[in-house]
A = this chain, B = another copy of it.
Amino acid sequence: MDADEFRKAGHALIDWIAQYRETLEERRVMSAVRPGEIRARLPAQPPEQGGGAGELIALIERDVLPGITHWNHPAFFAYFPSNTSYASILGDLVCAGLGAQGMSWQTSPAATEVEQVMMDWLRQLLGLSTAWSGVIHDTASTATLCALLCAREQASGLAQAGPGLQAGRPPLVVYGSAQAHSSVEKAATLAGFGRAHVRLIETDARFALRPDALGEAIERDAAAGLVPCAVIATAGTTATTAFDPIAAIADLAAARGMWLHVDAAMAGTAMVVPEMRALWDGVERADSLVLNPHKWMGPGFDLTAYFCRDPQHLIRVMGTNPHYLRTQQDGDVANFRDWHIQLGRRFRALKLWFHLLDEGAEALRARLRRDLENARWLGARVAEAAADGWELIAPVALQTVCLRHAPPGLSAEALNEHNLAIARRINDGGRAYLTPTVVGGVQILRVSIGAERTERRHVEALWEALQAASQAAAPGA
């Protein structure tokens, strides 16, 4: 492909993406293909001859699109909002076009410095103090792993430089809530703590971590000769967007010199709206903080923000210094390769920059408030329909509504089946997509609101569809 072929194919794909986005609403949200169907459409062998990129749009339409679940669809209510704005797409395009590596400052100074400015813009948007240093990671899973590694090395006096965790010393213990994201337990096990040294603390009626239970667990472990090492406070749990009481947890962590990591992966974006910030009161006392602008904010995946208070400790844990990576400027600059697990790094700051330039803080706040209001509206409808068997399973703290249909006279098992049937009817129907999950042992329907194009009418349509599905899925219907 030469430059002119690139221009031609590029223009066509830009137009195709615009048309794809404009017609999203007409498409079914969840892909309807069966396992193996896409795979069977592709040649089993790689092409010997090139030149096969002339028909990219036909290829996408025929072999890819049927297998796409449309995350930017206005009726996408599953998992989390995964907005990828037009401006963000252009940021990714320029990132790929430049093909620059930002592993060291020298390998492309702009990649490091634009990122520094963007992380500072983000810090200001979230209302965080200047005590924080930010860096772009790929996902919250790796950022939380990074935080637990920093915690491990703080508690062990940088044991990685010596025997690591294999010193036969009193085991280090990690704490989170029973509603913490699965990546917390995964990070703790990958970091070598072992699941036997992870405490998933019980939650209260609002699914927030109970500080009294946490304090007891810490004291119990300390009394048994274990070393309380780190606690993860979740600001907005995955299932119900419950907020752990960070200030109370920070007191407990401080008393034992433990690392406090705040997982605000999804909900962190909400803090752009000042009236929401009380929900993470105490965040300034954390050692590290992760949030995913690639969820609700607008820049596309992957763009995780990792903030920490002591970048020198981070660099001690993550840094390497082989001869072939040394540059003339090493003493004067940030080499972001030493701020995370990976070495190579893309110029991801571009998509956050382009997005913020295009949307602006005022419109961003307005969009987030729209979504919060839509969630409250749906919560109110569910509460009003109690007589028809509808239940809210958790308070609507943010943009997620957890509900179920529980008509009288059904067994617990039948209720679970009934709600799973509702979810399948909605998702298979293609007009909307939500996540069935289990909270407190109960099968529920989880509606996450916040796609860029989701307006009140889409939430109204979902509520109608839920009611219709509850009739159609009723046992004996």
Complex contact B72–A360 (CB within 8 A): no
Tell me which residues from 96 to 143 in chain A have a Cβ below 8 Å from any Cβ of chain B. Answer: 96-101, 105-111, 113-114, 116-117, 120-122, 124-125, 138-142
Tell me which residues from 373 to 415 in chain A have a Cβ below 8 Å from any Cβ of chain B. Answer: none
List the B side residues contacting A52 at CB < 8 Å: 357-358, 360
Decide yes or no whether A17 CB sits under 8 A from chain B.
yes
Decide yes or no whether A278 CB sits under 8 A from chain B.
no
- A107-B73 Cα distance, complex, nearest whole Å: 13
Complex contact B342–A99 (CB within 8 A): no
- A102-B43 Cα distance, complex, nearest whole Å: 21
- A5-B145 Cα distance, complex, nearest whole Å: 40
- A186-B2 Cα distance, complex, nearest whole Å: 40
Decide yes or no whether A361 CB sits under 8 A from chain B.
yes
Q: Which residue of B lies closest to A83 (CB)?
A: B99
Complex contact A20–B97 (CB within 8 A): yes
**Could you say which of B31, B193, B360 contacts A50, with CB atoms under 8 Å apart?**
B360
Q: How large is the interface on A (under 10, 10 to 19, 20 to 34, 35 or more residues)?
A: 35 or more
Decide yes or no whether A157 CB sits under 8 A from chain B.
no
Complex contact A196–B163 (CB within 8 A): yes
Q: Which residue of B lies closest to A331 (CB)?
A: B35
**Could you say which of B67, B107, B139, B185 contacts A109, with CB atoms under 8 Å apart?**
B67
Complex interface: stretch among A166-174, A244-252, A281-289, A457-465: A166-174
Decide yes or no whether A44 CB sits under 8 A from chain B.
yes
Complex interface: stretch among A84-92, A211-219, A306-314, A466-474: A84-92
Tell me which residues from 169 to 210 in chain A have a Cβ below 8 Å from any Cβ of chain B. Answer: 169, 171-172, 181-183, 185-186, 189-197
Chain A interface helix/strand/loop/mixed: helix
Tell me which residues from 34 to 78 in chain A have a Cβ below 8 Å from any Cβ of chain B. Answer: 35-39, 42, 44-53, 56, 59-60, 63-72, 78
Q: Which residue of B lies closest to A92 (CB)?
A: B96
Complex contact A342–B139 (CB within 8 A): yes
State whether A117 and B42 are in contact (beta carbons under 8 Å apart), knowing that A163-B171, A360-B47 are contacts in the complex. yes
Complex contact B11–A324 (CB within 8 A): no
Tell me which residues from 282 to 325 in chain A have a Cβ below 8 Å from any Cβ of chain B. Answer: 294, 300-302, 317-318, 320-325
Q: Measured between C-beta atoms, what is the minimum distance from A74 to chain B in Å? A: 13
Encode A315-343 as 1/0 by CB contact (under 8 A) with B.
00110111111101100110000000111
List the B side residues contacting A9 at CB < 8 Å: 90
Complex contact B358–A69 (CB within 8 A): no
Complex contact B191–A192 (CB within 8 A): yes
Complex contact A194–B159 (CB within 8 A): yes
**Could you say which of B22, B166, B323 contacts A165, with CB atoms under 8 Å apart?**
B166
Decide yes or no whether A346 CB sits under 8 A from chain B.
yes
**Could you say which of B36, B44, B197, B435 contacts A166, with CB atoms under 8 Å apart?**
B197
List the B side residues contacting A92 at CB < 8 Å: 92-93, 95-96
27 contacts between A and B (CB under 8 A): A1-B86, A6-B86, A7-B14, A9-B90, A13-B90, A17-B97, A37-B109, A38-B113, A39-B117, A44-B117, A47-B360, A52-B357, A53-B87, A60-B94, A68-B111, A96-B351, A138-B138, A138-B342, A141-B343, A161-B194, A164-B165, A167-B194, A183-B320, A190-B317, A323-B439, A324-B437, A324-B446
Q: Which 10 A-B pairs have the closest CB atoms?
A: A164-B194, A67-B110, A192-B192, A50-B360, A84-B99, A10-B14, A17-B97, A52-B357, A53-B358, A165-B165
20 extra interface residue pairs, beta carbon distance < 8 Å, beyond A89-B99, A164-B195:
A1-B86, A4-B18, A10-B18, A13-B97, A33-B110, A45-B124, A46-B356, A53-B357, A63-B110, A64-B110, A82-B99, A92-B95, A93-B96, A138-B342, A160-B194, A163-B171, A166-B194, A190-B317, A239-B324, A323-B439
